[in-house]
Amino acid sequence: MDPVGEIQKVASMRRGDSGSIWRRGEDVFSRSSREEDDEEALRWAALEKLPTYDRVRRAIVPLGAEAGAGGGKGVGIDMPTIEVRFENLEAEAEVRVGSSGLPTILNSVVNTVEEAATALHLLPSRKQTMPVLHDISGIIKPRRLTLLLGPPGSGKTTFLLALAGRLDKDLKASAMSGEEANVVTDYILKILGLEICADTMVGNEMIRGISGGQRKRVTTGEMLVGPAGALFMDEISTGLDSSTTFQIVTSLRQSIHILGGTAVISLLQPAPETYNLFDDIILLSDGQVVYQGPREEVLEFFESMGFRCPERKGVADFLQEVTSKKDQKQYWARHDEPYRFVPVKEFATAFKSFHTGRAISNELAVPFDKSKSHPAALTTTRFFKNYLLLLAINQMSASAFRFIGGAARNMIVANVFASFMLLVFMALGGFILVRVNEMLGHSWDKIVNSTASNETLGVQALASRGVFTEAKWYWIGFGAMIVYILLFNALFTLALTYLKPFGSSRSSVSEDDLNERHASMEGKVLGGNHLVSANSHRSTGIDTETGSAVVEDDSAPAKRGMILPFTPLSLTFDNIRYSVDMPQEMKAQGVQEDRLELLKGVSGSFRPGVLTALMGVSGAGKTTLMDVLAGRKTGGYIEGDISISGYPKKQETFARISGYCEQNDIHSPQLTVYESLLFSAWLRLPKDVDSNKRKIFIEEVMELVELKPLRDSLVGLPGVNGLSTEQRKRLTIAVELVANPSIIFMDEPTSGLDARAAAIVMRTVRNTVNTGRTVVCTIHQPSIDIFEAFDELFLMKRGGEEIYAGPLGHHSSELIKYFEGIQGVSKIEDGYNPATWMLEVTTVSQEQKIGVDFSDMYKKSELYQRNKALIKELSQPAPDSSDLYFPTKYSRSSITQCMACLWKQNLSYWRNPPYNTVRKTSQDLINAMGSMYAAVLFIGIMNCTSVQPVVAVERTVFYRERAAGMYSAFPYAFGQIVIELPYALAQDILYGVIVYSMIGFEWTAAKFFWYLFFAYFTLLYFTFYGMMAVGITPNSNIATVVSAAFYVPIWWRWYCWACPMAWTLYGLVASQFGDITTLMDDIPGMTVKAYIEDRFDFKHSWLGGVAAAVVGFTVLFAGLFGFAIMKLNFQKR
């Protein structure tokens, strides 16, 4: 049973972009939404403070929802509602375990042959079944807001998809016509924080629009303003702060209660106040329902099982951790009984006996009546004859390529098939190959020639190419276009309906994971390779008493990852100001200032062994400050002093001793976890670290971040395949840790993670700090546990000013004491999250309400004076110390960098199967030339277009790795270029032999190898041209436009010598026909050689020069690609 494959969307929203598998290469690594939100809001805050600024406010009139809801009852009509029932829901996936699951070229071939043999019942399948959902039953009531909780891999997304698609096959999505002004739309814009960009285009890579975080909110808003009665929302809080999430859920709660809607919402780390808004809870773990029912009764159920939620613990966090074998022990409440691990199966069985579970079972026994809706009809209009034909051609080609995209489900594969389709259109369209000779035989020639004397010049020209000239053929051709349009659109619809997403696996499956999932279904516990007692598992968590992570395992070492020494370093910054050029739109409105200041005199210090949280609302400048300190800003103006242990910061040196964990987790998708760490360590550790010590260090880091079970798992693309979000986050941290840095910056390390995954990441971060490193994290909406795991807080307010920098204290006592000491600030409630309270009481509206400026209050405080004294102290070099110095810019030599990059590109290409899969008349000669031209041209175009998304992805990874000081641009360009040579050669041999024999050329060694030579270098210069187009442009859209100029026909004679394809055609024709002295059949007295020379000026004697020109173009494009990579940088921060 596979519910995922048959989903029909009602009103469901996926966690990421719904078109993730359709995105271009660089989209998967686009700048993080939180970072864009932060800087966009920061710019907005700076604009608000300008003297010439005059803000336009929207008036939100009351919704009058109650009147609307009650209007139906006044006339005796009950508003329709939706009740969702699911009973004995199962979902399984067939997976390949171990190395056979890696998408190498060899595995691709072997697996394809194996699947064909399995379909014919010749071989048994080696795939294993992995349960995703197991025997799930329940009811989701209307007017009840339901929260779906569960750790990664629990089946939340699959469950939501099943609900969205299997509610009722006859249920259709409804729609309503738009209005010029809609109060609901204005209200949704307000609660989602989108009123500041309401009139801004959404935009894309070509058109500047709203930020990534705002796009997430627009996705949510599209569902909220629509008339859908059932909402299934998957992790909608990712990228939003806690206050915005609270507002959205509050609005949803009101809508569900008043209008009788049905909603199931999956959240990762809901704050306590957000959690309390929900009516019902569904807790999933290992594909099984552990609890479903009223929120007020969930703790009662777990207390009946012997587990109790601590006082200062969020209930949502407790629910996600209590079923984990690593975290369960700390919640055991029956102190008079010895603890034993309770597996998920036992929880699920116990819930069916719990009074809430029994009530659901009884209600499911009552039949449910289904209702049906009515389909709509479409109408069409007619246009003029010529425009009608153009429209038909446009629609036919568009539907054909839509079908290719729908069937391929992968950009690289779609490019290949699109190029083939273009080849078919051109070859069979009557231009390259003449239909008279190729399709109808020579009998048609006689008819054409016998009537030629009575025909006009236009008719003769058309007839000579085999084109029918009667008027009726216009309508026959138009009818054929209509048939093709219907056919391709039907095929496109079928492809979307029945074909599963290409590479839709969201996480890797190891053999241990598969065995553990099967054991969980059977109520057993795995330890090591055998079944063991549940008590043997250690308990891990974050110790909020001391602000540090603890591991309850006596055998665990106090400090790990210390085999390689490092120098603890501090970082201080004083009076940092960062500004950008004033936007032209503001200058056009009369703003006189030339610069817009985003950071206003920020000062602080980060010390070894101290974990610092960098926090603030959107627009405070958290990520902007971190980018300035880390040297990652590519534009703008920076003023102020930055020191490393008392010495002025030098970016070339700083990149060698620092690490930067970006929020968007950029990694090469075709490498495994271990290979990613090996590549980073190979290039970033000093050359005096030998291979054996380097591998030992990598193993220690993998253990530190709990990546050993995923050692051989493919990284994959975010949201498409490979590692899950939480696994990628840990890999990002590990990639920086294997460089053995002294200072580490982490941008939103817990963003997009649930409580359990966030606890794992924070434990990793704390262990890193305990080794004596300096660690700074931007954090967005932390739970109490995560927030109080930090030692110090650097808090900024909207506009780029700091308002607190100091210790948190026990249970955040120092922070609370400072802000409660300011007159007018409300006291924190018992059990309330200090991080949420802190952000709420320091907003701009609160400043205006109590009449204070928190930035001024901080600068007048004793805490500020102490911090300035500390900055002054740390800005002085320690006695007997020296400034950091490295004799070379990079850790390894250029040769080592080239070898490492070539090693990585070889693995990437090997595991990317979609990227790696005779005449005597003048008309015959022209057909042969057309065949040669098309054969080489379209394969070349395919190479050019298919390489662009691959290079675009790797270029984004290159930007991160170059910024980290791993290698220079030349080794990357070297590896990217050299790895193409063997693949192009294999492609040339396989394709060339087939085409050469099909066209029917002479089987002589000289002609055959000349053909292979020109074809090989043509494929190379097409490939390198595509790479060059990516290198000189900011994204693949512009690269495609630039590369299209390469395919323009030869309009001018002088341009012929500058067009590489002209030289390819010259070489192919001259090598095959330039030495044939046979007489032509249709031109008396002229040989084939003479015809080629007179008609096309192709001479056999010039083959050497032509060969040099083709090789020259190959070298030129490869060189330009390398130059662009070294000199151009399109990454804007």
DSSP string, 634-668: -SSEEEEEEEETTEE--HHHHHHHEEEE-TT----
Q: What is the pLDDT of residue 611?
A: 93
Give pLDDT, residue 802: 92
Q: What is the distance between the alpha carbons of residues 299 and 314, in angstroms, rounded to a whole number? A: 12
Q: Are residues 725 and 864 in the same domain?
A: yes
What is the per-residue pLDDT for 167?
33
Tell me the two tokens of residue 659: 């690490």
Asked whether the predicted pLDDT for residue 557 surpasses 70, the reply is: no
Phi and psi angles of residue 633, each rounded to the nearest 5 degrees, phi first:
-75, 130
Which pLDDT score, from 0 to 100, does residue 444 have? 42
Give the pLDDT confidence score for residue 1044 in this predicted structure. Answer: 55
Q: Considering its fold, how many domains does the chain have in total?
A: 3
Same domain assignment for residues 994 and 1116: yes
Together in a domain, 926 and 827: no
Tokens standing for residue 1131: 């990454």
DSSP 810: G
Check whether residue 744 and residue 660 sit in a common domain.
yes
The helix-helix angle for 691-704 and 755-770 (nearest 10°) equals 130
* Region 480-495 average pLDDT: 84
Pairwise pLDDT comparison (563 vs 510), residue with the higher score: 563
Find the mean pLDDT for residues 1109-1126. 81
Instruction: Output the average pLDDT for the chain.
Output: 73
Nearest residue to 602 (alpha-carbon basis) of 614, 612, 610, 594 = 614
Average pLDDT on 74-100 reads: 69
CA-CA distance, 1092 to 1100, in Å (whole number)? Answer: 9
pLDDT for the residue numbered 570: 92
Q: Is the pLDDT of residue 453 over 70?
A: no
Number of Cβ atoms within 10 Å of the Cβ of 1085? 7
Q: Which two tokens stand for residue 9?
A: 């969307």
Please give the pLDDT value at position 160: 79
Give the list of residues 6+ apart from residue 632 with CB closer than 8 angstroms, or none. Answer: 626, 660, 963, 1133
Q: For position 572, what pLDDT does the model report? A: 94
Listed residue (624, 621, 640, 601) closest to 859, CA to CA: 601
Are 956 and 1076 within one domain?
yes
Q: Give the pLDDT mean for 335-361.
A: 88
Task: Name the pairing type of β-strands 792-797 and 611-616.
Answer: parallel
- State which of 191-200, 453-462, 1043-1052 shows the largest mean pLDDT: 191-200
- Predicted local distance difference test score (pLDDT) of residue 1000: 62
> Which token pair is 331?
């919640």
CA quadruple 312, 317, 322, 326: dihedral positive or negative? negative
Residue 64, sorted as left (phi over 0), alpha (psi -120 to 50) or beta, turns out to be left
* 933 shares a domain with 834: no
Residue with more model confidence, 997 or 272: 272
Over residues 926-961, the pLDDT tens digits come to: 555 555 556 666 677 777 777 777 777 777 777 777
715 in a domain, yes or no? yes
Is residue 860 domain-shared with residue 978, that is, in the same domain? no
Q: Are 464 and 448 in contact (CB under 8 A)?
A: yes
Domain assignment of residue 973, yes or no: yes
Mark whether 730 and 848 lie in a shared domain.
yes
pLDDT the model gives residue 1087: 72
Length reported for the chain: 1133
Cβ 899 vs Cβ 682: under 8 Å = no
| Domain-located, residue 1121 | yes
Q: How far apart are CA 652 and CA 661, in angstroms?
A: 18
Residue 121, pLDDT above cutoff 90: no
In a domain, 755, yes or no: yes
What pLDDT sits at residue 437?
Answer: 44
Closest CA to 709 of 905, 568, 509, 863: 509
What pLDDT shows up at residue 528?
A: 45
pTM to 2 decimal places: 0.54
Q: Are residues 850 and 780 in the same domain?
A: yes
Looking at residue 291, its pLDDT comes to: 93
3-state secondary structure of 325: coil
* Measured distance between the N- and C-terminal CA atoms of the chain, rounded to whole angstroms: 47
Average the pLDDT over each of 130-139, 385-394, 721-730, 1040-1049 and give the range with the smallest value: 1040-1049
Contact 975, 905 (CB under 8 A): yes
Q: Say what percent of the chain tops pLDDT 90.
A: 9
Q: Are residues 840 and 941 in the same domain?
A: no
Same domain for 458 and 395, yes or no, is: yes
- The pair of structure tokens assigned to 784 is 């109490």
Q: How confident is the model at residue 732 (pLDDT cuts 50, 70, 90)?
A: confident
pLDDT band per the 50, 70, 90 thresholds, residue 509: low
- The structure tokens listed for 215 are 């796009």
Rounded to an integer, the average pLDDT of 1035-1055 is: 55
Average pLDDT over residues 53-67: 39
Residue that wins the pLDDT comparison between 706 and 314: 314
> What pLDDT score does 1036 carry?
61
Tell me the per-residue pLDDT of 967-992, one tens digit each, with 9 for 90 and over: 777 887 888 888 888 888 887 787 77
User: Of 256-265, 445-454, 684-693, 971-980, which gets the smallest average pLDDT?
Assistant: 445-454
Question: What local confidence, expressed as pLDDT, does residue 847 receive?
Answer: 87
pLDDT of residue 868: 92
Domain for residue 588, yes or no?
Answer: no
Which residue, 424, 458, 485, sits at the end of a domain? 485
User: For residue 623, what is the domain's CATH number?
Assistant: 3.40.50.300
The three-class DSSP label of residue 11 is coil
Which position has the higher pLDDT, 743 or 441? 743
More confident residue, 211 or 96: 96
Contact partners, residue 1116, CB within 8 Å, separation at least 6: 1021
Q: Which domain-ending residue is among 843, 874, 905?
A: 874
User: Does 468 map to a domain?
Assistant: yes
Choose among 836, 852, 1002, 990: nearest CA to 928: 1002
Residue-wise pLDDT tens digits, 563-609: 677 788 999 999 999 998 887 777 777 777 888 888 999 999 999 99
Judged by DSSP in three states, 844 sits in: helix
- What pLDDT is recorded for position 464? 61
815 and 868 share one domain: yes
Contact 417, 407 (CB under 8 A): yes
Domain presence at residue 657: yes
Q: Are 764 and 733 in contact (CB under 8 A)?
A: yes
Q: Which residues contact 953 (CB under 8 A, 6 or more apart)?
A: 25, 26, 28, 29, 668, 669, 717
- Burial class from Cβ neighbours inside 10 Å (0-12, 13-18, 19+) for residue 58 reads exposed
Q: Which of 1047, 1100, 1095, 1053 is nearest to 1073 (CA)?
A: 1100
pLDDT at 1108 over 80: yes
In-domain check, residue 384: no
Quick check: 175 pLDDT over 70? no
Residue 590 three-state SS: coil
Query: Among 402-406, 493-497, 1063-1067, 1091-1095, which stretch is predicted with the lowest mean pLDDT?
Result: 1091-1095
- Is it the case that residue 866 has pLDDT exceeding 90? yes
The better pLDDT of the pair 1, 1067 is held by: 1067
Mean pLDDT within 872-884: 84
**CA torsion angle for 875, 881, 886, 889 (degrees, to 10)?**
0
Identify the top-confidence range among 485-489, 657-661, 865-869: 865-869
Q: Kindly tell me if the per-residue pLDDT of 74 is higher than 50.
A: no
| Residue 526: pLDDT over 50 | yes
Final residue belonging to a domain, choices 452, 485, 518: 485
pLDDT band at 499 (very low <50, low <70, confident <90, very high): confident
Query: Is pLDDT of 263 > 50?
Result: yes
166 neighbors 87 (Cβ within 8 angstroms): no
Query: What is the predicted pLDDT for the residue at 606?
Result: 94
Closest CA to 771 of 748, 737, 731: 737
Reported as a pLDDT band with limits 50, 70 and 90, residue 13 is very low
For the four alpha carbons of 112, 117, 121 and 123, in that order, the dihedral sign comes to negative
Helix axes 691-704, 725-737, angle to 10 degrees: 140
pLDDT at residue number 30:
47
Residue 934 sits in which domain range?
Answer: 918-1127
Region of poorest pLDDT, from 126-140, 477-491, 494-508, 803-817 = 494-508
